[in-house]
Structure 1
Amino acid sequence: MAFLEQINNDIKAAMKAREKEKLEALRGIKKVMLEAQTAKGAGGELSDGDAMKIISKLAKQGTDSANIYKEQGRQDLYEQEMQQVAIFESYLPAKMSDEDLTAAVKAVIEQVGASSMKDMGKVMGIASKTLAGQADGKDIADKVKALLA
């Protein structure tokens, strides 16, 4: 619950400071977290890891939307979306550098004892859990493919 409490406190602070864009982004985060918390089978609890996944997903969706707006020449909507993405990303841990990602994936490969592409599923399962929020799933998959090939 610590993460949801932090979001609630930041919503109050944004309301007091009259930061419209930040308030809108934080309310979006809270809405999705509450939906996940009350979903069937969720048990009413939301771990910090799940909260990170939710925020990461929102940031990725926002980036995708912003790119579509930019392609369509809607600079105003692009900028608005990128402001929200920046707010989402401020709650996420810093992304791993390429060297750090390579080292982490190599460590997982050694841990699992993977030697070929047949073992990619095992490696991806552990790497995705270990590196959640620190690296994009596509980047992890690309790195695993490159190292196992």
Structure 2
Amino acid sequence: MELLERLKDAQKTAMKQKDKARLGTLRLVMAAIKQQEVDTRQSLSDEAILAVLTKNVKQRRDSVAQYQAAGRDDLAETELAEIAVIEEFLPQPLSDDEVDALVKAAVEKAGASSMQDMGKVMGVLKPQVQGCADMGKVSQRVKAHLG
């Protein structure tokens, strides 16, 4: 619940500083967290909140790509600013070497030997890298390691 408190404190600070862009982003994130709590009918742990934040960042990155393809750089800039605000609450991203080490350890832990075992490896890896690495890139590294 520490992450939720940090988000609430940041929201209060943004209100006091009259930072409308930051406040709007934080309100959207808090609404997404609240919606998840309502859907699951339980309070979210820090890991679940990280999943919500990661999902929000991914959605905004997809939007940036679409806006840039459509030539709407003004909207893309807004989305990039929102990504920057959300990323303040995510853990530091893992380096490529750290991801490779985690993949290797997960393959050994799962006893994986072929591509059919990829689901097992990803199951071991996901809690370790959630919010710290792009799951698409992690998946590619697992495929390369198993392939």
Q: TM-score, normalised by structure 1?
A: 0.94
Identical-residue share of aligned pairs (%): 38
Superposition misfits of 4+ residues, deviation over 3 angstroms: none
Report deviation, 1:85.
0.6
- Residues 50, 90 of structure 2: 8 Å contact kept: yes
Look up the match of 2:65: 67
Report deviation, 1:5.
2.2
* Residue 127 (structure 2) pairs with residue 129 (structure 1): yes
Distance of 1:29 and 1:75 partners within structure 2: 23
Q: Which runs of 5+ in 1 are unaligned?
A: none
SS in 2 for 1:95: coil
SS in 2 for 1:94: coil
Report deviation, 1:100.
1.0
Report deviation, 1:140.
1.3
Look up the match of 1:35: 35
Distance of 1:6 and 1:96 partners within structure 2: 22
SS in 1 for 2:131: coil
Report deviation, 1:44.
2.2
Does 1 or 2 have the higher relative contact order (CA < 8 Å, sep 6+)? 2
Please give the per-residue CA displacement for 1:11-36, whole angstroms capped at 9, x wherever unaligned: 11001111111101100010000011
Look up the match of 1:82: 80
SS in 1 for 2:63: helix
Q: TM-score, normalised by structure 2?
A: 0.95
Report the aligned-residue RMSD.
1.1
Q: What letter corresponds to residue 129 of structure 2 in structure 1?
A: L
Report deviation, 1:66.
1.1
- Residues 3, 89 of structure 2: 8 Å contact kept: no
